[in-house]
Each structure stands twice: as structure tokens, then as C-alpha cells.
Amino acid sequence: MRDAYHDDLDAVSATLVSMAAMVDNAIVRASKALLESDRALAEEVIAADAAIDTVQHELDNRTVDLMARQAPVASDLRVLVTSLRMSADLERMGDLAAHIAKAARMRFPACAIPVELQMTILEMSRVASDLVNKTALVIRDRDIEGALQVDRDDDQMDRLHRQLFITLLDPAWPHGIETAIDVTLIGRYYERFADHAVSVARRLYYSVTGEFAAPKN
């Protein structure tokens, strides 16, 4: 019975890792759709978000069932409680990738991102993918040092987000209000995506140690 219980606990973590892989696929493909004005790809990303939602719902149901049947305590209870929160973060990351794809679809056949900002958005997408991949490894390996590194790596996304705003606030901005709104929202989606990755990493740190991670320097 206990072996089966611990297999169930391992399966919870494995599902979170799978969710992270799905979210990574979503942000990579949404970014490609955005920068290449690929409406068909954007539609695929939007449709695929339902699969992430389904995995979250199934995982949460399984986790609650485990809590009810096994009455876990100490570290096992932390694993299950934090898994509910991590799955919510990952689901929201999928939503944010879908929002980026919707921005690509809305402006098709034009690109929502002006040429001079496309490299910044490309770099934001790279950082987003890197963060969620590192988060998956942190969950898989229960790596508290890696969790702290994810928190620090988020600084790069914050710098890129500020860089977008410097360009948008330039009095010489030539692209009008509508494009400025698009860029502002898209930049916010990437920034929030990274914040949720950090949240997952911090929750893993708490799950392993029973302590909350100290704020990054």
C-alpha cells in the first residue's frame, strides 16, 4: 500500500513535469506565430491550451483524492498542497502563451510587433522557454539550488521588459497607440509567464525544505 502511495506521489511530480513541457511547447510556438505572422500556428496554440487545462484538472482531482485517502503529513502533505498551486501556475502560463497567439491572430496578416522590437521579443521568448525548462528540471530533481537560480534568472526577463517600455515611451515612437497597446500587452504576457515560472520554483523550494525561499538579491 505504501509503495503504491509513493508511486502516486511520484506520478504527481511527473505530471507537473509533463505540464511544463506542454507549456514550453506553447510559448515557443506562440512566439513563432507572433513573429512570423503565422495564423494557422496561432490557431493551433490556442486550441492546444484546452489540453493543458485538462491535465491540470485531472492532476488536481488526483491530488485531492490522494489527500483524502492517505491523510498525508509533513513533507508528503507539502508535496501535494504545493502541487495544486504549481499546477495552477503552469495552467496560467499556458493561458499567457495562448494570449500571445491570439495577438498574432488578431493582427494577421500584419505582425503585431514592429521590426525594431522583434529581436527583443525573440529574446523574451527565449528567456521564457529557458525558465520553464529549468523549472521542469527543478520539479523533476527536487533541486532547491536550481529553484533559487530560476528566481535569479528572472532578472533577465525584467530587463527586457523595461527595454520594451523605454522604446514605447520614446517621443519619437512612430507606430501609433494601437501598436503601442499590442506591444505593452504582449510584453506583459511574457513578463507574467516568467513570474509564474518563478512561483513554481519557489513552491518547489518550500515543498522540499518546509521554508520559504529568501528574496533574490
Is 191 part of any domain? yes
In this prediction the pTM is 0.94
Is 216 part of any domain? no
pLDDT digits (tens, 9 = 90+) for 75-89: 899 999 999 999 999
- Model confidence at 217: pLDDT above 80: no
Q: CATH number, domain at 114?
A: 1.20.58.220
What's the total number of domains in the chain? 1
| Confidence (pLDDT) at 122 | 98
- Model confidence at 216: pLDDT above 90: no
| Confidence (pLDDT) at 11 | 95
Is 217 part of any domain? no
Is 37 part of any domain? yes
- CA 203 and chain centroid, separation: 14
What range does the domain containing 32 cover? Answer: 2-209
pLDDT digits (tens, 9 = 90+) for 155-196: 999 999 999 999 999 999 999 999 999 999 999 999 999 999
pLDDT digits (tens, 9 = 90+) for 13-67: 999 999 999 999 999 999 999 999 999 999 999 999 999 999 999 999 999 999 9
Is 60 part of any domain? yes
Strand, helix or coil for residue 110: coil
| Confidence (pLDDT) at 91 | 98
pLDDT band at 204 (very low <50, low <70, confident <90, very high): very high
Is 215 part of any domain? no
Is 40 part of any domain? yes
Is 45 part of any domain? yes
| Confidence (pLDDT) at 56 | 97
